[in-house]
């Protein structure tokens, strides 16, 4: 009888350990899905800013429907960038379809960085890098999403 009880305890322990390890890959897959969602959102938002001319093309802070910071392909417009930076952070998130995410936009120039958004305080971050021109100078445009 003692052997039967001991066998049940060992079997139950093995089943418990097996169930704990079966659940672990699900967490890894869910984490990967969240990273992929952030990457897709970052690519979409960077396309909105850098691959279209905005709606209307000469948008301002009152009539904006779709933001853009370019005046021609891969050439950042200083006026549009200024207008974009003056928008409310939550409004920019809405226009970029980033409602459930936070972002930081960094335009790295030779002598300075232009930063828009909020600082990252979390470790799970996705960054999209694009090249553009800003006032005749090469610029590395980074969009960070978390």
The pLDDT assigned to 141 comes to: 96
The pLDDT assigned to 13 comes to: 81
Please, which residues have CB within 8 angstroms of residue 45's CB and are 6 or more apart in sequence?
96, 97, 98, 103, 143, 145
d(CA 102, CA 64) in angstroms, rounded, equals: 21
120: number of Cβ within 10 Å: 15
Tokens representing 83? 């207008």
How high is the mean pLDDT in each 10-residue block of the chain (146 residues)?
A: 76 77 73 89 96 93 94 94 95 94 94 91 85 94 94
pTM above 0.75, yes or no: yes
Residue 4's SS3 state is: helix
33: left (phi over 0), alpha (psi -120 to 50) or beta: alpha
Domain segments of the chain: what residues?
Answer: 2-145
Residue with tokens 């890959």: 25
């Amino acid at each position: 009888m003692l052997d039967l009880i001991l066998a049940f305890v060992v079997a139950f322990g093995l089943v418990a350990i097996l169930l704990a390890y079966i659940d672990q890959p699900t967490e890894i897959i869910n984490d990967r899905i969240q990273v992929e969602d952030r990457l897709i959102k970052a690519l979409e938002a960077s396309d909105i800013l850098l691959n279209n001319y905005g709606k209307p093309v000469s948008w301002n802070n009152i009539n904006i429907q779709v933001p853009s910071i370019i005046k021609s392909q891969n050439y950042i417009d200083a006026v549009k960038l200024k207008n974009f930076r003056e928008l409310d952070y939550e409004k920019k998130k809405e226009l970029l379809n980033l409602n459930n995410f936070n972002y930081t936009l960094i335009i790295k120039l030779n002598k300075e960085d232009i930063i828009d958004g909020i600082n990252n305080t979390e470790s799970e971050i996705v960054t999209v890098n694009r090249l553009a021109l800003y006032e005749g100078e090469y610029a590395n445009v980074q969009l960070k999403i978390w």
